[in-house]
């Protein structure tokens, strides 16, 4: 039986990797993947707690998150394609018109 | 103290007239306006006569509480009215003379476009004046006091399209505010020390205190501050400057407000407060000195004026000085007596002057009059009676009252008496000068060409040529004749000190002081001697005026030339207006401009608002750069924020 803390540590590492990737990377696709990494890091902690406490609600949450992430991926990829068509770049530093 | 439910009706009647004419006058016919104004004012007079007829010394004073006003702890002020011998005299003078002047105004103002406005204002004035006179406490009196100031302002500036009239109205209002400031402080002192503003209460409290002979105390302060208020309203030194300018108003206004009634409110107020002044000899002395100086000072200015109304204005200031002199030496009843006779003869003088101005087509300069006795005999006769009365020729009204004052003043100090007699001489001189210049000799107005071009004087214009002076209509002459009768015989009410005895219950203390004298026989002979002297100087003044302005009309110009600077100073009213302009008006305007406007308003208030707006803009200018459009920087902010929240929660959890 793997202790809970291992799962949580892995979950934290995954989340931090996601955050760092989100902050550091310039490519939109990579950033998108970083978001997925963060979501899955959280998912891992949900299921770990669910298994630890023998409660199903954590696993239900994970399904919710997966559904939302799938929907988000669909919308997000559509936006990325639209951005690429107009700007011909995937570098987020050059997609900076939304400002004062 | 007897309740009398009719008291409040007297002031309300003119208010109703003012309201009706003010609201509906614009669309009414002039006949209807006149009817409303005269009926309501006449009704007030009738009510006053009714009150006088039912007045009994045993039942006096009457009072009536109309409504509660201020109830704050122990401090109470009600809308209540009060009628004793003093207010009865004032009531009759105000309503009687006021009613006559209302009648006169119908004729005088008939052709004016603002006729309804004028009548409404006159009625409004009557309301406030009656409130002032009938008040039972100082605060209700103050309502009337301020109200007559308002009516005075409105009526001085009646021809407000004329700059000088508008300016004169403002001047009157502002100078009166200075006086009212003193009056208000006096009221505050009364509230602080006596806890009440009710006459009976305050006077009883003042009576219980010892006279402040040694030093100045509360009562002296109250007395002096009341005198400041009275000096403003009654045009005494140093606040008299507004009254001559107030002659910009229509002549009936000058007669009613600025001669007969409103300007005497100060005298009435001082007389009403006799119980306070009685305990404050120093304040009394100040009143007497101010009155005496004003009497002399204003009379000398009157000598050199050429505007017929200005002469009368300075004469009014001078006569008011007499009244204050009387009050100051403790002869309150003599002051009120002179107030009454003065209302008759000075009201008459102004109305007659108005008749003259009316008759010559708006001209006010006496140098362009002359010979009018032929054209307007009634005006001449009535004005002649008034002149004899004011000069103090027996047995006309002015003789009795003025002599009473001079006698009482002599008992106090011969200095007052001497100045009073000199003033009487000057009064007689300038009044007969006025008569000779206006009615004597030949008509000097250039008939036909010049006499009509005086629309600028604001006077009614008949719209047709003013070739010759003409007598005024009977609606104007009627009041003149009635007032002439009163001026001639009004003085007899004072015969044998009857007037003084009538007022005695109001001025118990003053009467006691006045009664202290030497033995009656010696007193009588001195009194007759002084009487002879004052009549003598009046005759002398008449003779001098006759000599200079009738026998040798060239002489005055030569005398004026030989006097040079002195004459210039007198004819320019001693440059007092200029002095005030340099001393008060200019520093005030400069100070307001540099300190208040540029300094505080622009420098502090505007700057605070503008600077805080600027600061907000600068801060947001800096803050908006956070929103760079750079996606990763947003992500950084989000991450940082999340980190802070997590750190906080962890820290809380540790605790």
Stretch among A8-12, A14-18, B460-464, B577-581 having the lowest mean pLDDT: B460-464
> What distance in Å separates residue A50's CA from the closest CA in chain B?
22
Give the per-residue pLDDT at B528: 87
Contacts of A41 in chain B (CB under 8 A): none
B627/A23 CB distance under 8 A: no
Give how far Cα B283 sits from Cα of B210, B369, B509, Å: 15, 45, 16
The order of strands in the sheet holding B2-3 is B2-3, B62-72, B75-83
- Using CB atoms, pick whichever of B624, B629, B636 lies closest to residue A97: B629
- Select the highest-mean-pLDDT range: B283-287, B447-451, B466-470, B548-552: B283-287
Contacts of B631 in chain A (CB under 8 A): 31, 92-93, 95-96
pLDDT at B514 > cutoff 70: no
Q: What is the mean pLDDT of residues B458-481?
A: 71
Give the per-residue pLDDT at B459: 46
pLDDT at B453 > cutoff 70: no
pLDDT at B511 > cutoff 50: no
Q: Which residue of A has its CA nearest to B636?
A: A23
Contacts of A23 in chain B (CB under 8 A): 632, 635-636, 639
pLDDT at B263 > cutoff 70: yes
A95 contacts chain B (CB < 8 A): yes
pLDDT at B1 > cutoff 90: no
| Total beta-carbon pairs less than 8 A apart between chain A and chain B | 29
Confidence band for B561, pLDDT divided at 50, 70 and 90:
confident
CA neighbours closer than 13 Å in the CB half-sphere of residue B492:
5
A95/B632 CB distance under 8 A: no
Confidence band for B508, pLDDT divided at 50, 70 and 90:
low
Contacts of A89 in chain B (CB under 8 A): none
pLDDT > 70: percent of chain B: 95
Q: What is the mean pLDDT of residues B584-590?
A: 91
Give the per-residue pLDDT at B214: 72
Residues belonging to chain B with any Cβ–Cβ distance to chain A shorter than 8 Å: 624, 627-632, 635-636, 639
A95/B639 CB distance under 8 A: no
Mean pLDDT for all residues in chain B: 88
pLDDT 10s digits, B179-200: 999 999 999 999 999 999 999 9
Q: Which residue of B has its CA nearest to A91?
A: B631
> What distance in Å separates residue A90's CA from the closest CA in chain B?
12
> What distance in Å separates residue B606's CA from the closest CA in chain A?
30
Confidence band for B460, pLDDT divided at 50, 70 and 90:
very low
pLDDT at B418 > cutoff 60: yes
Confidence band for B310, pLDDT divided at 50, 70 and 90:
very high
Confidence band for B478, pLDDT divided at 50, 70 and 90:
very high
pLDDT at B448 > cutoff 50: no
pLDDT > 90: percent of chain B: 60
pLDDT 10s digits, B344-383: 999 999 999 999 998 888 888 888 888 888 889 999 999 9
Q: What is the mean pLDDT of residues B23-45?
A: 92
Give the per-residue pLDDT at B464: 42
B628/A92 CB distance under 8 A: no
Q: Which CATH class is domain A4-94?
A: mainly alpha
> What distance in Å separates residue B583's CA from the closest CA in chain A?
60
Mean pLDDT for all residues in chain A: 90
- Using CB atoms, pick whichever of B624, B631, B639 lies closest to residue A100: B624
pLDDT 10s digits, A24-74: 888 989 999 999 999 999 999 999 999 999 999 999 999 999 999 999 999
Give the per-residue pLDDT at B466: 56
Beta carbons of B511 and B333 less than 8 angstroms apart? yes
Beta carbons of B376 and B469 less than 8 angstroms apart? yes
Give the per-residue pLDDT at B165: 93
What element of type H or E holds B142? helix B138-156
B630/A96 CB distance under 8 A: yes
A19 contacts chain B (CB < 8 A): yes
| Token representation of residue B601 | 């308003």
B631/A99 CB distance under 8 A: no
Q: Which residue of B has its CA nearest to A16?
A: B639
Q: How far apart are CA B423 and CA B575, in angstroms?
A: 20
Q: What is the mean pLDDT of residues B559-588?
A: 86
pLDDT 10s digits, B87-127: 999 999 999 999 999 999 999 999 888 899 999 999 999 99
Confidence band for B569, pLDDT divided at 50, 70 and 90:
confident
Q: Is B22 exposed, middle or buried (0-12, 13-18, 19+ CB in 10 A)?
A: middle
Q: What is the mean pLDDT of residues B239-264?
A: 91
Q: How far apart are CA B199 and CA B204, in angstroms?
A: 8
Confidence band for B60, pLDDT divided at 50, 70 and 90:
confident
B631/A97 CB distance under 8 A: no
Give the per-residue pLDDT at B462: 44
Sequence-ordered strand ranges (E) for chain A: none
- Find, among B172, B178, B280, the residue nearest to B224 by Cα: B280
Contacts of B628 in chain A (CB under 8 A): 96, 99
Give the per-residue pLDDT at B485: 93
Beta carbons of B15 and B127 less than 8 angstroms apart? yes
Q: How far apart are CA B547 and CA B428, in angstroms?
A: 13
pLDDT 10s digits, B516-538: 444 567 778 888 888 899 999 99
Contacts of A99 in chain B (CB under 8 A): 627-629
Beta carbons of B246 and B313 less than 8 angstroms apart? yes
- Using CB atoms, pick whichever of B624, B628, B635 lies closest to residue A22: B635
What element of type H or E holds B255? helix B251-255
Give the per-residue pLDDT at A1: 77
- Using CB atoms, pick whichever of A19, A26, A99 lies closest to residue B628: A99
Give the per-residue pLDDT at B446: 65
Q: What is the mean pLDDT of residues B482-509?
A: 84
Q: How far apart are CA B373 and CA B362, in angstroms?
A: 17
Q: What is the mean pLDDT of residues B327-349?
A: 93
Beta carbons of B359 and B470 less than 8 angstroms apart? yes
Q: How far apart are CA B242 and CA B239, in angstroms?
A: 7
A93/B629 CB distance under 8 A: no
- Using CB atoms, pick whichever of A22, A23, A96 lies closest to residue B628: A96
Give the per-residue pLDDT at B419: 94
Beta carbons of B248 and B156 less than 8 angstroms apart? yes
Give the per-residue pLDDT at B628: 80
- Find, among B106, B149, B99, the residue nearest to B125 by Cα: B149
A23 contacts chain B (CB < 8 A): yes
> What distance in Å separates residue B652's CA from the closest CA in chain A?
20
Q: How far apart are CA B218 and CA B631, in angstroms?
A: 80
A19/B629 CB distance under 8 A: no
Q: Which residue of B has its CA nearest to A94?
A: B630
Q: What is the mean pLDDT of residues A3-16?
A: 93
A23/B629 CB distance under 8 A: no
Give the per-residue pLDDT at B555: 81
pLDDT at B509 > cutoff 60: no
Confidence band for B246, pLDDT divided at 50, 70 and 90:
very high
């Amino acid at each position: 039986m793997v202790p809970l803390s291992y799962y949580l540590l892995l979950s934290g590492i995954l989340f931090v990797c996601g955050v760092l990737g989100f902050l550091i990377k310039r490519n939109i696709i990579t950033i998108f993947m970083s978001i997925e990494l963060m979501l899955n890091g959280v998912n891992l902690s949900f299921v770990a707690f669910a298994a630890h406490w023998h409660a199903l609600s954590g696993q239900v949450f994970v399904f919710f998150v997966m559904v939302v992430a799938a929907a988000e991926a669909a919308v997000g990829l559509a936006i990325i394609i639209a951005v690429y068509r107009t700007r011909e770049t995937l570098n987020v530093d050059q997609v900076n018109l939304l400002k004062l | 103290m007897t309740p009398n439910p009719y008291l409040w009706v007297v002031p309300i009647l003119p208010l109703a007239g003012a309201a009706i004419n003010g609201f509906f006058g614009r669309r009414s016919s002039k006949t209807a306006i006149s009817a409303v104004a005269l009926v309501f004012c006449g009704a007030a007079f009738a009510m006053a006569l009714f009150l006088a007829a039912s007045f009994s010394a045993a039942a006096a004073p009457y009072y009536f509480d109309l409504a509660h006003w201020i109830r704050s702890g122990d401090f109470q002020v009600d809308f209540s009215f009060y009628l004793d011998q003093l207010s009865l005299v004032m009531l009759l003078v105000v309503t009687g003379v006021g009613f006559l002047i209302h009648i006169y105004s119908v004729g005088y103002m008939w052709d004016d476009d603002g006729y309804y406005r004028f009548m409404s204002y006159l009625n409004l004035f009557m309301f406030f004046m009656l409130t002032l006179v009938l008040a039972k406490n100082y605060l209700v009196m103050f309502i009337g006091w301020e109200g007559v100031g308002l009516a005075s302002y409105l009526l001085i500036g009646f021809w407000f399209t004329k700059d000088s009239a508008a300016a004169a109205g403002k001047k009157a209002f502002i100078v009166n505010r200075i006086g009212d400031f003193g009056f208000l402080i006096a009221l505050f002192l009364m509230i602080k020390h006596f806890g009440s503003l009710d006459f009976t209460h305050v006077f009883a409290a003042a009576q219980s205190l010892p006279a402040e002979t040694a030093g100045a105390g509360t009562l002296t302060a109250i007395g002096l501050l009341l005198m400041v208020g009275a000096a403003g309203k009654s045009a005494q030194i140093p606040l008299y400057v507004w009254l001559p300018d107030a002659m910009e108003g229509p002549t009936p206004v000058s007669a009613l407000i600025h001669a007969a009634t409103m300007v005497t409110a100060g005298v009435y107020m001082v007389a009403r407060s006799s119980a306070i002044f009685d305990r404050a000899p120093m304040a009394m002395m100040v009143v007497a000195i101010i009155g005496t100086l004003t009497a002399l000072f204003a009379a000398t200015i009157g000598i050199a004026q050429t505007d017929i109304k200005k002469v009368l204005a300075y004469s009014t200031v001078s006569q008011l000085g007499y009244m204050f002199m009387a009050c100051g030496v403790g002869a309150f009843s003599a002051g009120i007596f002179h107030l009454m006779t003065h209302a008759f003869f000075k009201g008459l003088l102004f109305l007659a002057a108005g008749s003259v101005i009316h008759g010559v087509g708006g001209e006010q300069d006496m140098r362009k009059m002359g010979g009018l006795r032929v054209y307007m005999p009634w005006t001449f006769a009535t004005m002649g009676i008034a002149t004899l009365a004011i000069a103090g020729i027996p047995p006309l009204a002015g003789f009795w009252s003025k002599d009473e004052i001079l006698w009482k003043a002599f008992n106090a100090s011969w200095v007052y008496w001497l100045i009073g007699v000199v003033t009487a001489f000057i009064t007689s001189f300038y009044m007969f000068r006025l008569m000779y210049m206006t009615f004597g000799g030949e008509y000097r107005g250039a008939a036909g060409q010049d006499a009509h071009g005086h629309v600028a004087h604001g006077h009614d214009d008949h719209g047709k040529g003013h070739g010759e002076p003409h007598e005024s209509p009977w609606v104007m002459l009627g009041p003149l004749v009635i007032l002439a009768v009163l001026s001639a015989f009004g003085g007899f009410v004072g015969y044998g000190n009857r007037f003084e005895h009538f007022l005695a219950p109001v001025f118990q203390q003053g009467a006691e002081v006045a009664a202290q004298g030497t033995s009656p026989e010696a007193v009588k002979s001195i009194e007759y001697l002084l009487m002879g002297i004052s009549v003598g100087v009046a005759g002398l003044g008449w003779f001098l005026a006759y000599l200079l302005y009738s026998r040798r009309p060239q002489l005055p110009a030569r005398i004026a030339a030989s006097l040079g600077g002195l004459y210039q100073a007198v004819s320019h009213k001693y440059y007092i207006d200029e002095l005030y302009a340099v001393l008060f008006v200019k520093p005030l305007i400069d100070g307001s401009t540099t300190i208040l406007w540029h300094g505080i308003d622009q420098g502090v208030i505007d700057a605070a608002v503008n600077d805080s707006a600027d600061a907000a803009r600068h801060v947001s200018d800096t803050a908006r750069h956070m929103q760079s459009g750079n996606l990763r920087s947003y992500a950084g902010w989000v991450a940082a924020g999340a980190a802070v929240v997590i750190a906080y929660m962890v820290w809380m959890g540790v605790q």
